[in-house]
Structure 1
Amino acid sequence: EIVPSETFRSLSDTSSAMTHEQGHVYRKPEGPPVALFPSFLDLSEAGCPYMWPFCSQALYYGGVPLTVNVTIMNPTGLKSRILWTRWISNDPNEVVDVSLTPPARFWPWSCGLGVHFRVAKEVEREMVLYG
């Protein structure tokens, strides 16, 4: 979840018609939503040439993890931060371990998110995974 720093405003920034108990209000960000570029990662042969050289490299158990940078663009605020990240996999065998390295903060309006792919356990044949 990405929360712009400007999301919480003090009473002095809000309407004078508010009561003292409403000292801090949540302001829903306006404008376009947060976007990722690229919006998806296709590391198969179909993803070439855009994802080259990543699509031409195989992942092996015990090998060096593959790291891809994804740009996060947040037009709702100048400064923001990522509160938490998680990867939801549809791989029932959990063959590939995917980890994310978020930045400490966005500034200005964008940042890079590290996506790391590692083969978690030994497999006996070549596999194509989706997630």
Structure 2
Amino acid sequence: MMIAGIGSRKGVSVEDVLAAIEAALETHGLTMTALSALATAPLKQDEKAIFAAGHQLNLPIVVADTAAIEAVSSATLSHSVLSQELAGTPSVSEASALAVAGRGARLLGARTVLGPVTCAIAISGVGP
């Protein structure tokens, strides 16, 4: 399973979200068809553009559980002071992707920042 974790400023457009996802995938030589779902944090559950992007891509959008985000926050590669203050994690996009990808998940790299949106790609771990 491959998850795109999304973080953003308030009021972003669906085009901003889609462009960030595309940029993150391109960084890793992947295409949209590689994705299983989009993920974000509870702080972003009312951000309409994230859900609109999922709808356009025909992908489920999972709002990661706060406890799951906290559990994986130490595994993030990027560290934003603002994200830590507002969301309780150093990277909303990275922690959300890891939390939804599940146990043993790993990031393909640090988040991609494109304007007001960040996107990180995580892949599920293998085995129990």
Q: What is the TM-score of this pair, normalised by structure 1?
A: 0.26
- Structure number with bigger Rg: 1
Bigger proportion of residues as helix: 2
- Normalised by the length of structure 2, the TM-score is 0.26
* Higher relative contact order, chain-length normalized (CA < 8 Å, sep 6+): 2
Could you say which structure has the higher strand fraction? 1
